[in-house]
Chains A and B, each alone.
Chain A
């Protein structure tokens, strides 16, 4: 076993391996089955053969999670002011933001709003990995905090679905500060007695994991999601030792006591609904 993996192991990649390719058909990256894309879509972007969970964007996630037509987006009218005037090899961060907004998944790396899940009113925050790798910048932090405030005001449970590569480098310490900001907001929420259900999906790493994602009263993960502080590549480059199989996957976190449960995508709605019934007031 060791020989097999050693030969082709080059560190895990944070690049979206599970994105849907163009065309009618696609091969499942996990089991190599040829799948009809329509079928996969109907199956909530889960491989019908091997149950591999594909990455989905924010809008799709909301569509899957919230009751039909119930999501009321909030705090849409803000965009980053590019505090550092960041530029990399002539490419401006401002332009990357503009390009990102053209995609369908959402206008930033998080979408927040009130919604119903199986008839229970919730404050729903969904991260959008399609927007700059779901990285947390000032807009993500602010939207998150506005959602928390609203949840306190209206005594709503808070459901946050994370998928993020971490803090947004382009905003420097401003983005680092969002870790402290969101955690401070959650402290207020905690004191107000609110229920925070944190759902971790593939991938949740870096600054998002090291702040709000790990602060859930109840933490749920989708199967086999990559969840960790440092990315596997960084760890590999630091320790130069092959990482154990299944390292930093949901099952690994469950085993080590950092999440409450692993829930299949198709059961997410009902599971969240039931948990709210237990903890709601």
Chain B
């Protein structure tokens, strides 16, 4: 596939790309000089390009978490529309949640990827200001999640696999969103996607913002583009709450382990899809082709599995999230002293002294507690 290189404007280099910008400036100068006085600068230009490429490799092989977040938010990063144009044949968009309205921040429709007919659900952040405002900067409202679910049910009925492309800063925090049940809409999607009887592939293509991403992000495979991020809270939000300083977003981003590399290491995602050198925005075609190949290959795998097994595996995978536990440190006995500290119980007749009960169980050594509950012990 022929790659189309994107020319970046001065303000579209990321803060850590100063050197790259400098190379581009010098190359442009030489090119201008060559066309002006006809001097041959091609060797020098090729040399500069080589050095620039190796510099780009160096920078992008060791991006910090915060730099990754910046790449994922790059103004020229491919958006849902680019994927629909380059990867999907014969896209038939389907609108509306049949209850309230049509949320443009979540786009749904039938389409063909490779030879596979699928239902595509994607979040759109919008490219220019007008589009951005129209689709709420990619922050869906409840009707978006309900539309997604309605179309997924349709896909289930006609046995079409579902592909979701996730790219949102988060579900919209607004008055209308709360009035129409943002939380309920997401919750229902989580439950229904966990048992939808068709294969589901979820791919984070840019920002994977918390519940807003998860609302279309439960499935058989969860993949991320190399420089996408996926997090329980935005780094800025986390910094504001825990560091009491939104400017500590870079520290928070690091702590949240939100990059594809870290999440793969933690087994919280299944696959990482490589981007073109220097981020998806530097070569949209290559990146989207990688995504297309991933979908085609994964769908082939998933379609081989019987649906009952697929659902069982999906459920097991969800149940396995965060199950490496430690034994709790028990309280010291002297700190407990239940009989002495026992406060007077409220005089309401059938309330119990549950605090006392909990304290007593806390004192029983671990082994004994297990012996007392053979069923639970055996089960785990």
Interface size, chain A (Cβ < 8 Å): 90
Chain A residue at smallest Cβ distance from B256: A172
Could you say which residues of chain A place their CB within 8 Å of the CB of B184?
Answer: 210, 214, 258
Q: A180-B194, A187-B194, A211-B187 are in contact. Are A174 and B266 (CB under 8 A)?
A: yes
CB contact between B321 and one of A86, A98, A177, A234 (< 8 Å): that residue: A177
A165 → B minimal CB distance (Å): 10
**Interface residue? B57 (CB, 8 A):** no
Known: A42-B348, A172-B257. A83 touches B266 (CB 8 A): yes
In the complex, A169→B240 CA distance in Å? 12
Query: Please, how many residues of chain B have a CB less than 8 angstroms from a CB on the other chain?
Result: 77
Of A42, A67, A173, A228, the contact of B263 (CB 8 Å cutoff): A173
Stretch at the interface among B67-75, B88-96, B158-166, B351-359: B351-359
Q: Which residue of B lies closest to A205 (CB)?
A: B183
- A260 close to chain B: CB less than 8 A: no
Smallest beta-carbon distance A78→chain B, Å:
4
- Whether, in the assembled complex, A129 has its beta carbon less than 8 Å from a beta carbon of chain B, the answer is no
Q: Could you say which residues of chain A place their CB within 8 Å of the CB of B268? A: 173-174, 177
Binary interface profile of A, 162-196, with partner B (CB < 8 Å = 1, else 0)? 00000111011111111111011111101100000
**B310 touches A (CB below 8 Å):** no
Contact with B along A149-172 (1 / 0, CB 8 A): 000000000000000000111011
If A76-B369, A172-B258 touch, whether A137 touches B322 (CB-CB below 8 Å) is: yes
Closest to B332 in A: A102
* Proximity string of chain B (260-274) to chain A, C-beta cutoff 8 Å, 1 when within and 0 when not: 000100101000000
Which chain A positions have C-beta within 8 A of B335?
102
CA distance A83 to B347 in the complex (A): 44
CB distance from A154 to the nearest CB of B (A): 11
Q: Which B residues, 351 to 373, have Cβ-Cβ distances below 8 Å to chain A?
A: 351-355, 357-358, 361-362, 366, 369-370, 373
Query: Per-position contact with A for B166-202: 1 when CB-CB < 8 Å, else 0?
Result: 0000011111011111111011101110110000000
* Residue pair A138, B322 in contact (C-beta under 8 Å): yes
Task: Tell me if B318 counts as interface (CB < 8 A to partner A).
Answer: yes
Q: Is the CB of A42 within 8 A of B347?
A: yes
Within 8 A of B (CB), among A90-109: 98, 101-102, 104, 106-107
Q: What is the CA–CA distance of A179 and B179 in the complex, to the nearest angstrom?
A: 21
Contacts of B130 in A (CB 8 A): none
Given A169-B238, A177-B318, A229-B177, CB of A210 within 8 Å of CB of B351 = no
Query: Would A69 and B352 be within 8 Å (CB), given that A138-B323, A169-B242, A183-B190 are in contact?
Result: yes
| Segment at the B interface, from A16-24, A27-35, A235-243 | A235-243
Q: Does A59 contact B (CB under 8 A)?
A: yes
Point out the residues of chain B lying under 8 angstroms from A214, CB to CB: 181, 183-184, 187-188
Contact: A239 with B174, CB < 8 Å?
yes
Q: Are A84 and B255 in contact (CB under 8 A)?
A: yes
Which stretch of B35-43, B120-128, B227-235 is in the interface?
B227-235
Kindly state the separation between the CA atoms of A106 and B359 in the bound complex, as whole angstroms.
9
- Cβ B325 vs Cβ A142 within 8 A: yes
- Cβ of A81 to closest chain B Cβ, rounded Å: 5
**How many angstroms between the C-alpha atoms of A76 and B347 in the bound complex?**
29
Q: Which of A177, A188, A206, A235 has the largest count of B CB atoms less than 10 A from its CB?
A: A177
Q: Which partner residue on chain B sits nearest A215 by CB separation?
A: B187
Interface-centre pick from B179, B187, B353 (highest chain A CB count, 10 A) = B187
A219 → B minimal CB distance (Å): 9
C-alpha spacing A67/B243, complex, angstroms: 43
Closest approach, in angstroms, between the C-beta of A34 and any C-beta of chain B? 20
Q: Is there an interface contact between A229 and B186, defined as CB atoms closer than 8 Å? A: yes
A137-B174 Cα distance, complex, nearest whole Å: 26
Q: How far is the CA of A245 from the CA of B319 in the complex (A)?
A: 40
Shortest beta-carbon distance from A190 to chain B in Å: 8
Q: Which of B26-34, B210-218, B284-292 contacts A (4 or more CB under 8 A)?
A: B210-218
Output the nearest chain B residue to A174 by Cβ-Cβ distance.
B322
Give the chain A neighbours of B321 by CB distance below 8 A: 138, 141, 174, 177-178, 180-181
Task: Indicate if A247 sits at the interface (CB-CB under 8 A).
Answer: yes
B329 close to A (CB within 8 Å): yes
Inter-chain contact A172/B175, CB cutoff 8 Å: no
Please tell me if A280 contacts chain B, counting CB pairs below 8 Å: no
Q: Which of B188, B215, B233, B318 has the most CB of A within 10 A?
A: B318
Instruction: State in angstroms the CA–CA spacing of A233 and B241 once bound together.
Output: 11
Q: In the complex, which residue of chain A has the Cβ closest to the Cβ of B252?
A: A88
CB-CB nearest in chain B for A66: B352
B62 contacts the other chain (CB 8 A): no
Given contacts A66-B354, A176-B232, A229-B186, contact A210 B211 (CB under 8 A): yes
Contact A243 B175 (CB under 8 A): yes
CB-CB under 8 A from B374, the residues of chain A are: none
- Tell me whether A229 and B173 are in contact (CB under 8 A): yes
Those of A52-98 within 8 Å (CB) of chain B: 59-60, 62-64, 66-71, 73-81, 83-84, 86-89, 98
Per-residue CB contact flags for chain B residues 299-317 toward chain A (1 = under 8 Å, else 0) read: 0000000000000001100
Name 8 A/B residue pairs within 8 A (Cβ), A-sorted: A66-B354, A67-B352, A107-B358, A142-B322, A145-B319, A184-B191, A234-B173, A244-B175
Residues of A within 8 A of B (CB): 41-42, 44, 59-60, 62-64, 66-71, 73-81, 83-84, 86-89, 98, 101-102, 104, 106-107, 111, 137-139, 141-142, 145-146, 167-169, 171-181, 183-188, 190-191, 206-207, 209-215, 228-230, 234-235, 238-239, 241, 243-244, 247-248, 252, 256-258
Known: A77-B366, A173-B257, A212-B187. 19 other contacts (CB 8 A): A41-B346, A66-B354, A67-B352, A69-B352, A74-B376, A83-B324, A89-B243, A138-B321, A138-B322, A141-B321, A169-B241, A173-B266, A176-B214, A179-B214, A180-B214, A183-B190, A210-B183, A210-B211, A211-B186
